[in-house]
Amino acid sequence: MQKRGLSRRQLISSASVAALAQYLPDVARAEQGQSAALGRRRFTQSVCRWCYASIPLRDFCQAVAKMGLTAIDLLTSDEWPVAREFGLTCSMGSGLGGPIERGLNDPANHDTIMTSLTAGIPQAARAGVPNVITFFGNRRGMSDKDAINNCVTALNRVKGVAEDNGVTICIELLNSKVNHKDYQGDRTAFGVEVVSAVNSPRVKLLYDIYHMQIMEGDVMRTIRDNQQWIAHYHTGGVPGRNEIDGSQELNYPAIVRAIGDTGFSGYMAHEFIPKRDPLTSLRDAVALCEV
């Protein structure tokens, strides 16, 4: 015969439910606060055009806009108006700063690069393009000391144009181990020594997470320690430069949070080569980085 009233188990269960009911509003409030904090994250996701070259530009712009992105990286000046047709910004202008191999480290390249940047930066400003890319160049036996001095000399010649037009010159850090043999700007310390000597708010580094993971690792600490010299980020899975999902070694949600914690307010552009359906991979990457 069952006794009247609640059993010990029922009493414990009832108490647990009551405690949970009191706790859930706190959880909801915490989640709301976290969402509000994330909503204050100031940097913006973008995507590099060359990784999706098989998709016609207008189709790609339409797809990018439809998934909620607002910018595309590494468009040339003739492509900037196409992006604008779809309400998109070119977040990093390409084609003005010379080829990767023949960069700022060699004085023989300076006049060509400076002429192109001097003409192109005002054009970028008129088109609403906030950044333009250039490169350190290949070593070809040059010492780091000479290369740094040469890069500083070149950038000092053009930083006034960038400052006057509100456009940032971004020099990209690349790996020399896998993709860009002999490239001189293959370590963060090298790049920081250059841009800190130039000391302009419009001359900064493009920190490519994929490339720097290959060369030096310690990505999150490096970002935190050098955030004042970085104007732009690129993503990519290591190894292989493919999707930034669980198939590779980098923890992108944690890296994204580290970038956000620095107060970064620029663009982080996805620069991985999709192995699956390209637009599905891009959507997944954008969702992964919305943390």
| Positive or negative torsion for Cα 51, 201, 198, 156 | positive
Domain shared by 228 and 155, yes or no: yes
- Ranges of residues in the chain with a pLDDT under 70 are 1-42
Domain shared by 117 and 12, yes or no: no
Domain shared by 142 and 235, yes or no: yes
Domain shared by 28 and 98, yes or no: no
Residues 6+ apart with CB under 8 A from 142: 105, 106, 150, 184
Residue type, 97: G
Domain shared by 83 and 30, yes or no: no
Domain shared by 10 and 90, yes or no: no
The reported pLDDT for the residue numbered 20 is 36
Domain shared by 169 and 225, yes or no: yes
Domain shared by 97 and 219, yes or no: yes
The reported pLDDT for the residue numbered 76 is 98
**Contacts of range 185-189, beta carbons closer than 8 Å, 24 or more positions apart:** 185/103, 185/105, 185/135, 185/136, 185/137, 186/211, 186/215, 187/215, 187/216, 188/212, 188/216, 188/222, 188/226
111: three-class secondary structure by DSSP: helix
Domain shared by 271 and 163, yes or no: yes
Q: CB-based burial of residue 86 (10 Å sphere; 0-12 exposed, 13-18 middle, 19+ buried)?
A: middle
The reported pLDDT for the residue numbered 291 is 83
Domain shared by 91 and 34, yes or no: no
Residues 6+ apart with CB under 8 A from 65: 86, 87, 88
CATH code at position 260: 3.20.20.150
The reported pLDDT for the residue numbered 224 is 98
Domain shared by 212 and 230, yes or no: yes
How many domains does the chain contain in total?
Answer: 2
Residue owning tokens 């370590």 = 187
Domain shared by 125 and 147, yes or no: yes
Domain of residue 219 covers 43-288
pTM above 0.95, yes or no: no
The reported pLDDT for the residue numbered 28 is 37
